[in-house]
Structure 1
Amino acid sequence: MKKRNHAIDGLRGFSLSGIIVANMLIFQYGLFGETVPELFGIKGADLAFHSFLFIAVVGSFMPIFAFLFGFGMVKLADSLKARELRPKSHLARRFLLLFIFGMLHATFLWEGDILTFYGATGFFLLLFLNRKPKTLLVWSVLLLALTGALGASPMESSVKGLGQSEHTESYILQSRDVYGTGTYAEIKDFRNNADPFGEEEGWIMAIAIVLAPLMIAPMFLLGMRAAKVGTFDDPVAMRRTYARRAAIFVSIGLLTKSFSVLGPQFGGGALPGIGIGETLGGSLLALGYIYAFMLLYAGSRRVALLERFEAVGRLSLTNYLLQSLICTTVFYGYGLGLFGRAGVFDGTLIVLTVYAAQLWLSLLYLKRFRNGPVEKVLRIWTYLSWKGRPRKPVRVAEPLEGESRVS
């Protein structure tokens, strides 16, 4: 039995710290309101911090989760093959339940769900499961180049502008009232039925559905490749490689994202390539963060906090859903009603407090239980076993020489 890769658990737990900070902007301002701080009276130091989050955090931690999704998919498939079980059927069941979890999450709790997208994408990734590492790398580079080209094109800027129409602005202002003061039933009804675009811009959703998988697909594929070539099997031996890649990707990611975020604020909204930070920079910065974090496992001394990151990572699905449950209660009208009122900096402190509690509680939980409750359900369904473990393959005994196979 292979040893668990604690570095991957730690990276998964670390990514949740950035995910909850990025999601705070949606918890507090809505899926469409997070990009228009002026509608919520954000200015001064809070506006500067808002820009900082869009450069350093937003769009650069969720891709880490996508990378790890692809990585985990290959590792699970390898484990199933070693047990002489069928990887694709098990993975398909897993993706189906993730999709269902996501639909329930989005319908009954929060509009920023990503589990639905991940579950649906998983079925597409099955096409690449048995591909060679070189093939995965080629496809990743091609898709990264394509998303970069989209960010440099005028079409990308026009699509962003469509989301800032009068209809969308009216929707955001209405959401401020509903989410801030509404009951659970009122918020649920608004989330599932209100139209943020209107009839003239209805096609923008179709464009978003096409572009979103395109922009994040390279991270899934790169994660699959990393699992196949053993990028994280020996962090000590890979120390120099991690350091070099971290320096390159963090630098390029921050530069491109800074250009895209700060350019429009200084009158450069029409500059060529102004959208490249949003379409490409986020993924590049995510790669930089991945390699920078892995350096913590490449040194001779172990950082004490890593054990807590690993605990959060082992319970990643449960912790992700708990973040939604707690933060919607904090910011929505049926809870503390801080929607649009806490401010960007204070909102960040609030969600980091939630994450700090998860760092502490996750480790305590794992001292008594092997899996998180949501992870347990996912394992039961994946393996079709109440124990949540792979079934042993059924072996048919070979007949002895001279015996008939049919009795």
Structure 2
Amino acid sequence: MDAIRGFALLGLLSMNLVHMANFELGYVAASPAHHLDPFFAMVNSIFFDGRFRSLFAMLFGAALCVQVANASSSEQAKIRLKWLLLFGMVHGVLIWPGDILFNYALSGFVALKFIDAQRAKLIRYTAGFIVLPALLLSILLLVDPEASINRSSPEYLELVQRVPNTYWQLVVNNGLYFIIVSLLIPVITLWYTAGLMLLGMLLFKDGLFELNTREPTEKINLYAVLAIVLSFVGFVVERKVGIAFFEGIDWLLAIPVALFYIVVIKSVMRASRYKLYTMQVVGRLALTLYISQSIIFVSYFHFIQPEAISKWDRVDYFAAFVVATILQLVIANLYFKVFKQGPLEKLLKWLTLRRGGHD
């Protein structure tokens, strides 16, 4: 599970980078766009966007099962979720409003209510929580499609002029965005994320996250191939027609691709002598690295090199993602040669045990 968590953590950055530069609009292409933009947009849509978020949420649900089993009670897991909620609020306001910890903590409280549910009930609620929000999102986007803009559009030029140039302005902007995002969470993402966590619980109980179990590899591979093909079709249709209806459907297609990543990681670990140790240590340092990603790139885009917001193309973001991935792998491995636990991981554990009466 550490290796899967590390893989998901590294992949999350590929989606977050553009929103760390421009939280409100995400990636906005130049006019004319860079000739490699369509290729990287396609790769991102099929293999990255939503895939790692789904993988992380499923793993979060599986981790809840482990935490409750180790504590023999869900109380300690609830305490941990409360602290993650606070971590998410601090991260969202002081650093970057695209935080996932706050949403994951809220969804975790919902998922915990089903920790001891029978399999049939778990399957029903998993399907309902995942499918209904995805379809609702597609309908909402069909009714109110996003306007197509580029870096020459008045909307973009106005937004660039409002980019914070002091930390205080950044905090004020973050606070406003975080409030808006928090109010929207209960509408769709809370339930969808909770559904992915329930799926993670279901898969954990079926042994998918155990190295010595044999998952239905052929079925997962088939579903993943179909999802990749449909994702490609949806990507082409959206670019040709300009309708964002496919976004909600893509949430569903992300799940088999995420499962495929789990199968691949397990296969590599079975064949590897060192069991993907490099990826495992990244997973053990996931919280620290996640917050560090935000601190570094938000600082870069807003204070060190703000002109990058208007100059970087998709190839630049992808290059930054690759460099950051390599650095995180190196840093995590060097860190665990000296220490046994990440600083934020240690703080979260101490706070959880302290509140749970285990000083």
Whether TM exceeds 0.5 here: the answer is: yes
Which deviates the most, 348-357 or 128-137?
128-137
1:252 to 215, 218, 226: 226
Deviation, structure 1 residue 148 = 5.1
Q: Distance in 2 between matches of 1:319 and 1:40?
A: 35
TM alignment of 1:206-221, pairs within 5 A:
209-221=186-198
Say if 1:150 and 1:279, in contact at 8 Å, map to a contact too. no
Equivalent in the alignment of 2:23? 31
Equivalent in the alignment of 1:17? 10
Which letter maps to 2:23? L
1:366 to 308, 316, 336: 336
Question: What secondary structure sits across from 2:304 in the alignment?
Answer: coil
Q: Distance in 1 between matches of 2:69 and 2:33?
A: 49
Shift in CA distance, 207/390, structure 1 to aligned 2, threshold 3 Å? closer
Question: What secondary structure sits across from 1:137 in the alignment?
Answer: helix
Which letter maps to 1:188? V
Shift in CA distance, 217/341, structure 1 to aligned 2, threshold 3 Å? same
Question: What secondary structure sits across from 1:384 in the alignment?
Answer: helix
2:69 to 68, 71, 78: 78
Q: Distance in 2 between matches of 1:206 and 1:88?
A: 27
TM-score relative to the length of structure 1: 0.78
CA deviation profile, 1:204-249 (whole Å, cap 9, x unmatched): 98666411123322210111122223223244x41xx353243123
Given the alignment of the two structures, is residue 103 of structure 1 paired with residue 89 of structure 2, yes or no?
yes
Question: What secondary structure sits across from 1:302 in the alignment?
Answer: coil
Deviation, structure 1 residue 164 = 6.7
Q: Distance in 2 between matches of 1:41 and 1:108?
A: 35
Equivalent in the alignment of 1:157? 142
Given the alignment of the two structures, is residue 282 of structure 1 paired with residue 254 of structure 2, yes or no?
yes
Say if 1:144 and 1:215, in contact at 8 Å, map to a contact too. yes
Question: What secondary structure sits across from 2:36 in the alignment?
Answer: helix
Deviation, structure 1 residue 170 = 6.1
CA deviation profile, 1:181-206 (whole Å, cap 9, x unmatched): 7222223333334799xxxxx9x986
Given the alignment of the two structures, is residue 230 of structure 1 paired with residue 226 of structure 2, yes or no?
no
Given the alignment of the two structures, is residue 243 of structure 1 paired with residue 217 of structure 2, yes or no?
yes
TM alignment of 1:50-89, pairs within 5 A:
50-81=41-72, 87-89=73-75
Deviation, structure 1 residue 315 = 0.7
Q: Distance in 1 between matches of 2:115 and 2:31?
A: 45
Which letter maps to 2:223? F
Shift in CA distance, 42/11, structure 1 to aligned 2, threshold 3 Å? same
Which deviates the most, 273-282 or 254-263?
273-282
Given the alignment of the two structures, is residue 187 of structure 1 paired with residue 170 of structure 2, yes or no?
yes
Say if 2:282 and 2:333, in contact at 8 Å, map to a contact too. yes
Q: Distance in 2 between matches of 1:88 and 1:267?
A: 48
Output the aligned Cα RMSD: 3.0
Which deviates the most, 317-326 or 278-287?
278-287
Shift in CA distance, 205/66, structure 1 to aligned 2, threshold 3 Å? closer
Deviation, structure 1 residue 278 = 2.9
Given the alignment of the two structures, is residue 44 of structure 1 paired with residue 35 of structure 2, yes or no?
yes
Question: What secondary structure sits across from 2:350 in the alignment?
Answer: helix
Q: Distance in 2 between matches of 1:255 and 1:267?
A: 18
Q: Distance in 2 between matches of 1:382 and 1:195?
A: 25
Shift in CA distance, 186/40, structure 1 to aligned 2, threshold 3 Å? farther
TM-score relative to the length of structure 2: 0.87
Q: Distance in 2 between matches of 1:205 and 1:266?
A: 33
Question: What secondary structure sits across from 2:50 in the alignment?
Answer: coil
Equivalent in the alignment of 2:237? 263
Q: Which has the higher contact order (CA 8 A, sep 6+)?
A: 2
Q: Distance in 1 between matches of 2:249 and 2:233?
A: 7
Equivalent in the alignment of 2:161? 177
Deviation, structure 1 residue 104 = 0.7
Q: Distance in 2 between matches of 1:148 and 1:118?
A: 17
Which letter maps to 1:44? H
Deviation, structure 1 residue 376 = 0.7
Q: Distance in 2 between matches of 1:309 and 1:195?
A: 31
2:304 to 335, 345, 360: 335
Shift in CA distance, 149/278, structure 1 to aligned 2, threshold 3 Å? same
Say if 2:29 and 2:313, in contact at 8 Å, map to a contact too. no
Deviation, structure 1 residue 286 = 1.8
Equivalent in the alignment of 1:396? none
Question: Unaligned 5+ residue runs, structure 2?
Answer: none
Deviation, structure 1 residue 40 = 7.2
Say if 1:157 and 1:275, in contact at 8 Å, map to a contact too. no
Question: What secondary structure sits across from 1:24 in the alignment?
Answer: helix
Question: What secondary structure sits across from 1:13 in the alignment?
Answer: helix
Structure whose CA Rg is larger: 1
Q: Distance in 1 between matches of 2:255 and 2:238?
A: 21
Shift in CA distance, 279/193, structure 1 to aligned 2, threshold 3 Å? same
Question: What secondary structure sits across from 2:317 in the alignment?
Answer: helix
Shift in CA distance, 320/207, structure 1 to aligned 2, threshold 3 Å? closer
Q: Distance in 2 between matches of 1:56 and 1:361?
A: 25
Q: Distance in 2 between matches of 1:101 and 1:208?
A: 17
Equivalent in the alignment of 1:293? 265
Question: What secondary structure sits across from 2:341 in the alignment?
Answer: coil
> Quick one: percent identity of the two aligned structures?
23
Q: Distance in 2 between matches of 1:67 and 1:195?
A: 24
Which letter maps to 2:143? S
